[in-house]
Chain A
Amino acid sequence: MSRLLVATAFALFMASPVTADAPDPFDLVQGLRENGMADLALEYLDELSQNPTAATKVIIPLEKAKTNLLLAQQETDESVRDAAIALAKTDFGLFLLDHPKHPRAAEASLALARVLSLQAKTALNRAARIDVPIGADGRPNEGKLKEKKAAFAAIRPLFKDATKLYGDAAKQIKAIIDNPMTEAFRRKTLTREALLAELDRGINQFNLSETYIQAEGNEGLERAKALDAAQLIFADLGKQDPSNPICWTARAWVGACDYEKQAYGKAKEAFASLRADASRNPSAGADGVRMVEFFEAQNDYLGGRTGDLSAVKSARVKTKSWLDKDKYKPRMTPERLSMTYYYAILTQREAEGDQGNVYNKKASEPGPRKLISVSSNSRFLLQDAAREYKRLLDFDNDYTDRATRQRMRAIRYIVGEAGKPAAQYTNFDECFMAAQVRLANMDEVLDGIEDEEGGDKKPDPKKPAPKPNPLTPEQQKGQATAEVIALFERARDLISPATPAKDAAEAKLWLAVAYRRCGQPQAGAIAAEDVALTSRGSVAAKAGLWAIDCYRESRSQIEASDTDARLVDRNRAISLGLVIDKAAGTDSATDAVRTRLGEIYLEEKQYKDAFDILSKVSSGFGAAAVARTLQGRAAFLIYIAKEKESALSQNEKDSILNRARLAAEGVPEPTNPDNLRSFFTMRNVLAQLYLIQGGTSLAKAEDIAKQTVARAAAAPLLEGDKKAARFAAEEVRLRAIYAQAVPLFKEKKYKELADKMQKTLLDMKALGPAAKEVEAYRGKEADKADGDTGSAVVAADSLDRYRRDVIVLALQSRIREGAFDQATELFKLLEELGGSIEATTDALARLVTQVRPQIDELKKQMKGEEAQKLMDVVGKLLTDQAAKEKLTARARAFLGRALRDLGLYEKALEVVEQVPVVDDETLRLPISGLDAEKRDAVIAYQIAQIEKARAYRMAKQFDKADEILTAALGADGKSGWAKSLEFRKERVYVIEDRATEAPAGAPKLELWKKATGAWTDVVRPYIGFVRAPIKAGEDVARARQDREKMYPVILDLFVEEKRCYAKANSQLLAANPAKVADALNNLGKQIAQLEKGYEKGLTTEVRERYAELLEEYPPMKEGYKQSGGTAFLDPMADLSDPTAPPTGDKK
């Protein structure tokens, strides 16, 4: 459709009401809006949308958007307003998108431009509130300045888009005006609309210049450009129609641009010219003159507010004069709003500068001065200022926040030290302020009481001794807190219908704050909840947040055993949080409430609820990183939940994982350094959300972690915080690398694996142990200047531990690959990064647990030579380690165990023999009562003894093994020092091995009988414990729990017993396979019975052991299945992710 056709259609459409057409339903909507009944307009639109015609169906969304926008602008609560404006904006955008050529598209464009402009202005005001403190060096805080600049930069696109839309709308309207079909009276209205759109475009462009905060450099140039563009728009508009007041207003703005550019001479000229022209055309020019006077007074204010007292007074007179002239205007214009604020500020400055005021020090003395008392003139001025500020608080506007703060400041001066008793206050404002002053001073008062109590305060010999206070310090504290609460309660009682709703809600909320500060969180919770449920928007959300925190604090103070009372507080916190959430606010308090709810749900392991509520936290929330971290954790836990423990399908879990990732990826790096730590934590969680899925996601996880390492290194963080963030991210990166290497290992692509890891290993070598970087922090109290050094130490240790795991994996690969030289190199690296001999020993021990199955496998495959070579290489590593002088007894014992595990019994015996002997008396003492040194010695000795016994047994030196075990366990009625079950089990293993080695015949039978009987003896006490009747008066639930804890131990001993029987029968009945099968079948049936009897003890480890046994003896498995056994058939089904790192340190 050509522009002309569109214009014609628009003209016809707009003209329709005066022709003999059917009544237009949208006339009523418009009329209702114009008459202050937007709510009814919305209701009418809802009714229309129930049965719309084709034509109305298209228009209804546009009309709804217009109505919603109007309602939004009337909304006093910022968060509710923002949400409603955003909704209207979306609707206008959708209308334009769906119907770009609709006759009413121009109207929608104009509305959208106004919405964008409004949003941009609101954002500009918010950004301007970011305080950039000046440091001791006189320079602004860099982080804050960066944050402020970023906030301004983020607003610019909004202004630019709005400017473009204004331009588009003006063109569309002009096309309709130029259309000869448009009626004359309509043309007049449209002309006005077009001029107004152009003026708005200019003001929007002018506001854009305010987003450049630095006068110099690129920012300064951009600012000048924006101002020039705005000035051009105003100048063009000013020339268009001398009979139209809008054009006169534009002319005044031309001068305002000159003011902004500090071209004061040009501004004066422009204003003088306007005044002269207006004297010849007073009715049209009146608006222009009014704006000129406004800009002049504004300029005086800007100069006066920072000038001396005479400049303040002069500017105040001018602003007052402007206000007096303007007071007959029927509505509060933006200019009057600004001027009212200027006047109040100047009045306050004049009051503060009054000569009669008393300060705590002279103006010439350094440091900030504190106003002690004000003169009567000053008081009068402050009251005047407070009145003007209050005028600005009657509705929400650009000055609401500033006026609130300044008004508080003025009242603060009026109330002074707030020493009057609560009952003497008769004015809400003053009482409320007095209460806040007293609350702020409360810590000082309580400290004073404590000083007196502790006798810290030295008496001043020059002053007479103070009268002793008849009250105890506790009573004094109680009195101080009671006075503060009384003041807040009095303020609450002084609330009247004239009190602004916002103030009233705030006073009630402060009462809740006072209750909590005074140690009454329950009362605080109830008071805050009341505010939350009787207010709306961000006030309700703030109160709700406070109430939830109070409930949580109150809950923590209740005895753990009083579960009912704790549950009440928990439930109230949750239900209140849900009410706040339901209001669908977009403010930070609502998001904070959602985050709290998420925390609670996570604590309670309600991961899905936690995920859902945290998903609602908006990405613009200041602590979005914290929310996304929690959300990520919830998603992680949902994802890893076992199938039977989760009601979600795999698809749903995948979706949750994706959503959590997307949400976390949407959080930008905060400019505020205070939020950086949580941001990096979130990045690590994000990487883990990729890590957990394995496969192709691992590379992504590695990439994210790599970026995080780099970003953390470059971030403006304190050194301790930076290290903690960097180490944690590096560990996640290594985990991703490790997880990518595992499949190669499983596929026996050892060389490929080791080569791939080469660069990582070289990087590790170059960097050295993380522990070195935090040496200075270790064992010292955290210094605030360094940040969280404790976390840095923990992160460093964890990273080093994980690095060792990575090296061990590479080491294993090299060993399996047969690249023993490179393996030795890696061992050296392990030592370098080990941090300590113990840590290296520990890593070696883990290496053996990995290599051992490989050796067994090689032996099974009759590759004895290869097996031996492997044993030799690893054995050499172990013996070399064992040869080190500074090796502790404990490390030596562990090395012995590793050597024994490797099958190098002699070497193992050599190593453990070197573990120092501990005297019998010490060995018999309870281990928990020993100091660390003795405890280590005892543990090392115990390990050495058991390993000796094992080594002898495996070397078939049963007597020597028996000798050691008898010494440990005792004999002939004498008890030994060993209490561990391992010793008792080892003794049975010795009998079993003797039986195995014994020649067929009676002795063999006897030995097997002894072995099976011995297992029964071992398990008997445990059976006795779990079957013992619960005593009267004993906590039944607890007693049951204690008994159930023993189930896995019993099952573990039974698996040994069944294995022993199986082995015995297999040997003793070897000549009769049918009988063997029958015996094994019976054993299987018994196992099925055990499964049913000890169901609560079926841990993964237990199930794996039984499964192994059943696999070894097929007839046994058959019997097990015949008796309905299931749990041991597929124990791996519930095993955790095989890519999980061997340290098991899941963060």
Chain B
Amino acid sequence: MHIRRLVLVLFVAGFAGLVRPQLASGQGGASDSVRFRNPKKDYQEDRILGVVQESAGGIKITAANKEVTTIPATNIISLEYGNLPGLDKIILDLRTAENQGIAVKARDLYTAEVKKNPTDAKTKKYLEYREAYWTARAADEKTGPALQTEAPVAIAKLVGFVQDYGKKNAWEVWPIAQMAARLQFELGKYSDAGSIYSQLSKVDGLTPELKFDARLSECEMLFRGGNALTALPALDELAKTTGFPAAGPLREKLMILQAATKALSEKKPKEKPVAATKAIEDVVSKTADPLVRSFGHNILGELYLQVDLPREAMWELLRVEVVDNQDRGEVLKAVLRLADCFQKQGNETRAKAYRDKLPQVKGA
């Protein structure tokens, strides 16, 4: 338990780094610095210095001792370039806005920089990535009708980035697409979120694992949207796809989704889906990957909600929030659905508390 707590602290700290990417120092010849979640250390934050080589699937970094580390896009927290042409001065206002988490100001300052149309491709990509990121963050600060207005604008910006860089081997496509899908999810547009994942799975340069992961996410959105009839064959097809790992986190996630979707197709309101619960719990208890545990509890929680068992759902989702919380994306989904759980149980106070908590969780 203490391990989880420590991991949570480190994760939050790490994620803060991700959402506030370090401004390039612009010092020529300096090493690039990557902060990432290290699966070998229970996804605790780690840092490597060296020279990076980027691709859509992630980065390879060569340290001074020539040791090469490959970091998939899913685990990158931030990349601090040693050298960014055209950005050799510290932009004080921008740094202050980022450090203080003033999203709107950061977004506007980056927009201003992007409008200057930098000539260097790396610098341009970097600025556009930051602009898209802070646009999403600005939307994240909103709730209620304001969110409904701002989120689509942000999604458009994020999707635009994905489209622009989808064929340019940019590791940033992955996190930006995830942000766009998450915003769609928050708006309750599961099929639109699924479309984004579908689009992501077709991005050039992604590793097969990431493509499978995106396809799984697409299926997850179908499941969450209650579309079991479409999701089930899609999952079966994925399971049979050549190259889909026979074991490991992806296979485990697939099994979880299959069990949940199958139960959903046989939906019996107010009745605990015993078989699916057992299947998912089996996977969760056997996995060595904490992210799978987080995913499993989240999906089980969603299944319980779908069969109108909000209290059972609550315990699963709370576990995602306070125990198996290494994956910030999963935590966000859990917190969103927890508000619904409390609402369904007639606990208005806590439902409101969770809705109010959301911007804080997103901005953590």
Is A31 in contact with B286, judged by CB distance below 8 angstroms?
Answer: no
Which residues of B are found within 8 Å of A24, using beta-carbon distances? 1
Within A25-40, the residues touching B (CB, 8 Å) are 26-28, 30-32, 34-35, 37, 40
Bound-state CA distance A27–B323 (Å) is: 6
User: Does A44 belong to the interface (CB within 8 Å)?
Assistant: yes
Bound-state CA distance A185–B42 (Å) is: 11
Within A10-33, the residues touching B (CB, 8 Å) are 14-15, 17-18, 20-24, 26-28, 30-32
Is B319 in contact with A28, judged by CB distance below 8 angstroms?
Answer: yes
In the complex, what residue of chain A is closest to B290 when comparing beta carbons?
A18
Given A23-B284, A44-B315, also A34-B5 (CB < 8 A): yes
Given A27-B323, A28-B322, A40-B318, also A20-B3 (CB < 8 A): no
Bound-state CA distance A189–B2 (Å) is: 8
Bound-state CA distance A863–B318 (Å) is: 99
Cβ distance A377 to chain B, nearest Cβ, rounded Å:
38
In the complex, what residue of chain A is closest to B319 when comparing beta carbons?
A28
Q: Mark B280-300, 1 if CB is under 8 A from A, else 0.
A: 010011111000010001000
Interface extent on A, as a size class? 20 to 34
Which residues of A are found within 8 Å of B3, using beta-carbon distances? 15, 17-18, 185-186, 189
Is A23 in contact with B2, judged by CB distance below 8 angstroms?
Answer: no
Is A18 in contact with B293, judged by CB distance below 8 angstroms?
Answer: no
In the complex, what residue of chain A is closest to B314 when comparing beta carbons?
A40
**How many residues on chain B are close to A (CB under 8 Å)?**
21
Bound-state CA distance A40–B2 (Å) is: 20
Contact of B2 among A14, A37, A47 (CB under 8 A): A14
Bound-state CA distance A44–B312 (Å) is: 10
Is B2 in contact with A186, judged by CB distance below 8 angstroms?
Answer: yes
Contact of A23 among B42, B285, B288, B322 (CB under 8 A): B285
Bound-state CA distance A26–B319 (Å) is: 10
Which residues of B are found within 8 Å of A17, using beta-carbon distances? 1, 3-4
Which residues of B are found within 8 Å of A23, using beta-carbon distances? 281, 284-285, 293, 297, 319
Which residues of B are found within 8 Å of A22, using beta-carbon distances? 281, 285
User: Does B112 belong to the interface (CB within 8 Å)?
Assistant: no
Q: Is the interface of B mostly helix, strand, loop or mixed?
A: helix
Is B42 in contact with A18, judged by CB distance below 8 angstroms?
Answer: yes
Bound-state CA distance A186–B318 (Å) is: 24
Which residues of B are found within 8 Å of A15, using beta-carbon distances? 3
Which residues of A are found within 8 Å of B364, using beta-carbon distances? none
Cβ distance A800 to chain B, nearest Cβ, rounded Å:
71
Is B321 in contact with A20, judged by CB distance below 8 angstroms?
Answer: no
Bound-state CA distance A44–B6 (Å) is: 23
Within B1-34, the residues touching A (CB, 8 Å) are 1-6
Is A20 in contact with B285, judged by CB distance below 8 angstroms?
Answer: yes
Interface core residue of A15, A32, A186 (most chain B CB under 10 Å): A32
Which residues of B are found within 8 Å of A18, using beta-carbon distances? 3, 42
Given A20-B285, A32-B318, also A27-B293 (CB < 8 A): no
Is A32 in contact with B322, judged by CB distance below 8 angstroms?
Answer: yes
Is A21 in contact with B285, judged by CB distance below 8 angstroms?
Answer: yes
Bound-state CA distance A237–B303 (Å) is: 52
Is A27 in contact with B318, judged by CB distance below 8 angstroms?
Answer: no
Cβ distance A353 to chain B, nearest Cβ, rounded Å:
43
Bound-state CA distance A24–B3 (Å) is: 13
Is B286 in contact with A20, judged by CB distance below 8 angstroms?
Answer: yes
Which residues of A are found within 8 Å of B321, using beta-carbon distances? 31, 35
Bound-state CA distance A186–B321 (Å) is: 22
Which residues of B are found within 8 Å of A34, using beta-carbon distances? 5, 322
Is B318 in contact with A20, judged by CB distance below 8 angstroms?
Answer: no
Given A14-B2, A20-B286, A34-B5, also A27-B42 (CB < 8 A): no
Bound-state CA distance A31–B7 (Å) is: 12
Given A20-B286, A20-B288, A21-B285, also A31-B2 (CB < 8 A): no
Which residues of B are found within 8 Å of A31, using beta-carbon distances? 1, 4-5, 318-319, 321-323
In the complex, what residue of chain B is closest to A40 when comparing beta carbons?
B318
In the complex, what residue of chain A is closest to B325 when comparing beta carbons?
A31
Is B1 in contact with A26, judged by CB distance below 8 angstroms?
Answer: yes
Cβ distance A287 to chain B, nearest Cβ, rounded Å:
18
Which residues of A are found within 8 Å of B4, using beta-carbon distances? 17, 27, 31
Bound-state CA distance A185–B5 (Å) is: 12
Which residues of A are found within 8 Å of B297, using beta-carbon distances? 23
Bound-state CA distance A31–B3 (Å) is: 11
Which residues of A are found within 8 Å of B285, using beta-carbon distances? 20-23
Which residues of A are found within 8 Å of B322, using beta-carbon distances? 28, 31-32, 34-35, 37
Within B322-336, the residues touching A (CB, 8 Å) are 322-323
Bound-state CA distance A34–B315 (Å) is: 15
In the complex, what residue of chain B is closest to A189 when comparing beta carbons?
B2
Report which B residues bind A (CB closer than 8 A): 1-6, 42, 281, 284-288, 293, 297, 315, 318-319, 321-323
A-B pairs, 5 with minimum CB distance: A31-B322, A22-B285, A31-B323, A30-B1, A27-B323
Report which A residues bind B (CB closer than 8 A): 14-15, 17-18, 20-24, 26-28, 30-32, 34-35, 37, 40, 44, 47, 185-186, 189
Known: A14-B2, A23-B297, A28-B315. 16 other contacts (CB 8 A): A15-B3, A17-B1, A18-B42, A20-B285, A22-B285, A27-B1, A27-B323, A30-B1, A31-B4, A31-B5, A31-B318, A31-B322, A32-B322, A37-B318, A40-B318, A186-B3
Task: List 8 A-B residue pairs with CB atoms under 8 Å apart, sorted by A's residue number.
Answer: A14-B1, A14-B2, A15-B3, A27-B319, A28-B315, A28-B322, A31-B1, A186-B2
